[in-house]
Amino acid sequence: MPTPHNAAQVGDIAKTVLMPGDPLRAKFIAENFLENVKCYNEIRGMLGFTGEYKGVPVSVQGHGMGMPSIGIYTYELFNMYGVENIIRVGSCGAIEPGVEIMDLVFAQGACTDSNYAAQYRLPGTYAPIASFELLEKAVNIAREKNHRYFVGNVLASDLFYADHKATLDWQKMGVLAVEMEAAALYMNAARAKKRALCILTVSDEIYSGREISAHERQVGFTSMMETALELAVQIS
Closest among 71, 32, 151, 164 to 103, alpha carbons compared: 151
pLDDT-derived band at 1 (thresholds 50, 70, 90) equals confident
pLDDT of residue 166: 86
Task: Say how many Å lie between the first and final Cα of the chain, rounded.
Answer: 24
How confident is the model over 203-231, as pLDDT tens digits?
999 999 999 887 776 666 899 999 999 99
For residue 175, is pLDDT > 90? yes
β-strands 149-156, 104-112 pairing: parallel
Instruction: Determine the pLDDT at residue 214.
Output: 75
Could you tell me what percent of the chain has a pLDDT over 70?
Answer: 98
Give the model confidence (pLDDT) of 47-77 as tens digits.
Answer: 999 999 999 999 999 999 999 999 999 999 9
- DSSP structural state of residue 8: P
Compute the distance between CA of residue 3 and CA of residue 34 in angstroms, rounded to an integer. Answer: 25
Q: In which band, very low, low, confident or very high, does the pLDDT at 132 lie, cut at 50, 70 and 90?
A: very high
Q: What is the mean predicted confidence (pLDDT) over 10-14? A: 96
H helices present in 39-181, as ranges = 67-80, 132-144
pTM equals 0.96
Q: What are the residues facing 199 on neighbouring strands?
A: 89, 106
Cα–Cα distance measured from residue 158 to residue 124, given in angstroms and rounded to the nearest whole number: 20
Residue 15 in 3-state DSSP?
coil
Q: What is the mean pLDDT of residues 1-27?
A: 95
**Helix spans in the chain (H):** 23-33, 67-80, 132-144, 182-192, 214-219, 222-234
Q: What percent of the chain has pLDDT over 90?
A: 92
Q: State how far the Cα of 149 lies from the Cα of 104, in Å rounded to an integer.
A: 4
State whether residue 81 is helix, strand or coil: coil
Determine whether 103 is an active site residue: no
Return the domain boundaries, the chain.
16-234
Contact of 92 with 202, CB cutoff 8 Å: yes
- 8 A C-beta contact, residue 94 and residue 176: yes
How do strand 195-205 and strand 104-112 relate by DSSP bridges?
A: antiparallel
Can you give the pLDDT at residue 122? 98
Q: Of the residues 12, 22, 103, 204, which is catalytic?
A: 204
As a whole number of Å, the CA-based R_g of the chain is 17
CATH number of the structural domain 16-234: 3.40.50.1580
